[in-house]
């Protein structure tokens, strides 16, 4: 991967979500509270028109758009989403509970400019219901990962991982809740790492310049 270009101006985020939107809200809170200087949310997009996260974005006065993916061909749906992201001059796409696999064409439209959060310590437990998968498997350490998106599911270079112990008293639900609290911190950390521009990706490794 070529060296990342440093951001000298604002970094415009495009948030994609399908549901609750707590990761989106955590990012918005970080911006509001000054933890992500030089970063702003330019648009929030959902493939689910009644997603609670989209409603939250509207209530916050952010540009928000719904492109219903039901019954539409992937290419046509994605073309609408990509056009909307471009219209809002998005530099960095943040998947925040966006429950759709992106096509190679979408990934190529934002090369090394799409992040995803996944509720497991990748490469363990990709796919759906990762927290439940980890709990049932009986792992002792669980967590979350923020990674660049590539053409494979939950696969690209990892920026941040946060780990927590699985407690004797946990069930899949309490474990997921404690992982979610870590997700909210991890996404802000990862966006700050990209916003710094002071890095390159070597193979699968995020390497900070002057580290
Ligand atoms: C989060 O736990 C996120 O990691 C997960 O969906 C949830 C969305 O919650 N994403 C995936 O599993 C993607 N493979 P949120 O809508 O409250 O941010």
In a domain, 6, yes or no: no
**Protein residue whose Cα sits closest to atom 8 of ligand 1:** 97
Task: Say if residues 43 and 22 touch (Cβ distance below 8 Å).
Answer: no
In a domain, 4, yes or no: no
Burial class (CB in 10 A: 0-12, 13-18, 19+), 43: buried
In a domain, 168, yes or no: yes
Strand order in the sheet with 39-46: 64-66, 39-46, 11-17, 92-95, 114-118, 141-148, 158-165, 205-208, 199-202
Q: Which pair of tokens denotes residue 34?
A: 């000054």
Question: Tokens 């046509």, residue?
Answer: 76
CATH number at residue 144: 3.40.50.170
Q: Which one, of 78, 20, 6, lies nearest residue 53 by Cα?
A: 20
pLDDT of residue 114: 98
pLDDT of residue 7: 45
Proportion of the chain above pLDDT 90, given as a percent? 95
Distance CA 99, CA 126 (A): 12
pLDDT of residue 141: 98
Give the domain range for residue 159: 11-208
- 118 carries an active-site annotation: yes
Proportion of the chain above pLDDT 70, given as a percent? 96
In a domain, 2, yes or no: no
In a domain, 154, yes or no: yes
pLDDT of residue 205: 95
pLDDT of residue 211: 72
Q: What is the pLDDT of residues 46-68, one digit of tens each?
A: 999 999 999 999 999 999 999 99
Quick one: CA torsion of 32, 34, 37, 42, rounded to 10 degrees?
Answer: -10
In a domain, 102, yes or no: yes
In a domain, 94, yes or no: yes
Low-confidence ranges of the chain (pLDDT < 50): 7
Task: Say if residues 137 and 90 touch (Cβ distance below 8 Å).
Answer: no
Give CA 33 to chain center in angstroms.
20
Q: Catalytic: which of 77, 112, 118, 147? A: 118
Enter the pTM of the model: 0.94
pLDDT of residue 2: 52
**Across the chain, what does the average pLDDT equal?**
95
Ligand 1 shell residues, CB under 6 Å:
17, 19-23, 53, 96-97, 117-119, 130, 154, 180, 183
Q: What is the pLDDT of residues 163-178, one digit of tens each?
A: 999 999 999 999 999 9
In a domain, 1, yes or no: no
Give me the number of domains the chain comprises. Answer: 1
């Amino acid at each position: 991967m070529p060296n990342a270009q440093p951001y000298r101006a604002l970094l415009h985020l495009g948030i994609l979500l399908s549901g609750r939107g707590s990761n989106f809200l955590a990012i918005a809170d970080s911006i509001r509270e000054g933890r992500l200087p030089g970063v702003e949310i330019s648009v929030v997009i959902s493939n689910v028109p009644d997603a609670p996260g989209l409603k939250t974005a509207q209530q916050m006065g952010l540009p928000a758009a719904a492109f219903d993916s039901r019954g539409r061909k992937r290419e046509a749906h994605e073309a609408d989403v990509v056009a909307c992201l471009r219209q809002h001059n998005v530099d960095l796409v943040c998947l925040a509970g966006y429950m759709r696999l992106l096509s190679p064409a979408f990934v190529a439209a934002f090369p090394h400019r799409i992040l995803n959060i996944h509720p497991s310590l990748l490469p363990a437990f990709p796919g759906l219901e990762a927290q439940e998968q980890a709990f049932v498997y009986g792992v002792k350490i669980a967590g979350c990962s923020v990674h660049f998106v590539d053409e494979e599911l939950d696969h690209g270079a990892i920026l941040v991982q946060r780990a927590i112990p699985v407690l004797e008293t946990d069930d899949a639900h309490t474990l997921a809740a404690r992982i979610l609290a870590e997700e909210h911190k991890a996404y802000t950390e990862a966006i700050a790492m990209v916003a710094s521009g002071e890095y390159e990706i070597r193979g699968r490794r995020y390497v900070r310049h002057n580290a």
